[in-house]
Amino acid sequence: MIALGVDIGGSGIKGAKVNTETGELLSEKIRIATPQPATPEAVAATLKELAAQFTDYEAIGCGFPATVHHGICFTAANIDQTWINTPVEKLFTETLGHPVFVINDADAAGIAEMKFGIGKDHEKEIVMMITVGTGLGSAIFVNGVLMPNTELGHLILSDDIAEHYCSDAARQREDLSWNKWGKRFNRYLQRLQFLFNPDLIILGGGASKSFSKYQDKIRVRTPVVPATTLNLAGIIGAAVYAAGETNAGHAPNITEAEEYIKKMLEAEAKHEKKKKQATAPKEEEDDD
């Protein structure tokens, strides 16, 4: 299938047409700067502008830098806080007037590597993809099957979440040498190895391109390799995801997402009410 794959990031929104059987790009990659502030409506409008520059595709898939569950964005570590609880598939589908499937960005990158990159020779194993950019993204595949939304960039390391300690943004922010950053990143990989015992760790995102600069600091028994699809992994994986969903006859989560959010908010309100009742001062009992 020919699908439009889009990678939504904090600084750029990039898209290209992809042959989802071969992983080949069928167009140039187009990039538009992410609007600031990157609110849901502003990002949706930019996505529409980007998609309008392509024709003749059958599906649209977007990699998104947050948890995407039931078509809803639940976290906002490196994006505008207003994304939390936004039904992202509904928003994008309605804005573009075309079904849009949305998946976590690291999961998308992992899908591309498992299908077209180094992961394809490791289908019968446990493979972890770690994307190293503004955040730390993770994807886990067991026998080729993805366990989505693992969020392992949020493990605690040195009293903070790992992505504050050893993402590429942390390296730049703290002006760390590759040696120093490599040691930090090695600690992170050691933790992942200890907790999950993967057979292979694939690195994606910005820092994967500089692998040779910190490779000698990586001391884990698990083989660690840079992604072969490099910074195109997010685009290719998002396109493959959308093609799979379309071929399976699935539609983006729209009504289900609304129902899910409604139930969630009702449960939260109930919980808040109970909490208030439990902490409210008891009325004085009558003496007579």
Interface with ligand BGC by CB under 6 A: which residues?
A: 65-67, 75, 77-78, 104-106, 131, 135, 137, 151, 153, 163
Q: Residue 189 Cβ, how far from ligand BGC at the closest point, in Å?
A: 16
* Closest CB to ligand BGC among residues 77, 96: 77
Q: Residue 39 Cβ, how far from ligand BGC at the closest point, in Å?
A: 18
* Closest CB to ligand BGC among residues 154, 187: 154
C-beta of residue 144 within 8 angstroms of C-beta of residue 52 = no
Q: Residue 283 Cβ, how far from ligand BGC at the closest point, in Å?
A: 46
* Closest CB to ligand BGC among residues 57, 204: 204
Q: Residue 136 Cβ, how far from ligand BGC at the closest point, in Å?
A: 6
| Residue, CB closest to ligand BGC | 135
* Closest CB to ligand BGC among residues 54, 64: 64
How far is C-alpha 159 from the geometric centre of its chain's CA atoms? 23
- Which residues, at least 6 apart from 139, have a Cβ–Cβ distance to it below 8 Å? 104, 106, 107, 109, 110, 111, 128, 129, 146, 148, 150
Task: For residue 32, give the DSSP letter.
Answer: E
Q: Residue 62 Cβ, how far from ligand BGC at the closest point, in Å?
A: 13
* Closest CB to ligand BGC among residues 204, 252: 204
CA distances from 224 to 115, 156, 159 (A): 18, 21, 25
